Amino acid sequence: MDARFFSMMTNYAYSSLWNKYRPVILQLMVATEEGPQKYRLFDHEFKAADAKAKNYLFQMSVYEGKALNNIKESGVAQDLLRVLNTSRKASELLTEHQFEFSMDRQFMFHVTRTPKQVG
């Protein structure tokens, strides 16, 4: 079989995990009107989703359902974006505002509403 076929396949290892947290993420997105938000996630859940991953850190800027920065190397970020785009409420918020999503080494998930970039 052609190697390109396998490179086009995406694992979606974290989609079910992000789907589980989708209601919390939506609440955090709404609450960013008051300022940056954070929520502690559990490392064992990410390790169970993909034990081979070297790290789970990511930073992603999103507006109108698209990542504004390169997330090709982060399956965690790609799956989060995919799950957000399946949510009607998240899609509405992402159309109205630009958001910054990130996760640090302590599995603290951060959500910030940022000013829209012009141009």
- How many residues make up the chain in this entry? 119
Cα separation, 88 vs 2, in Å, equals: 37
Cα separation, 37 vs 118, in Å, equals: 24
Cα separation, 105 vs 102, in Å, equals: 10
Is residue 1's pLDDT more than 90? no
In this predicted model, what pLDDT tens digit does every residue of 43-96 receive, in sequence order? 999 999 998 888 899 999 999 999 999 999 999 999 999 999 999 999 999 999
Is residue 41's pLDDT more than 90? yes
60 and 81 in contact (C-beta within 8 Å)? yes
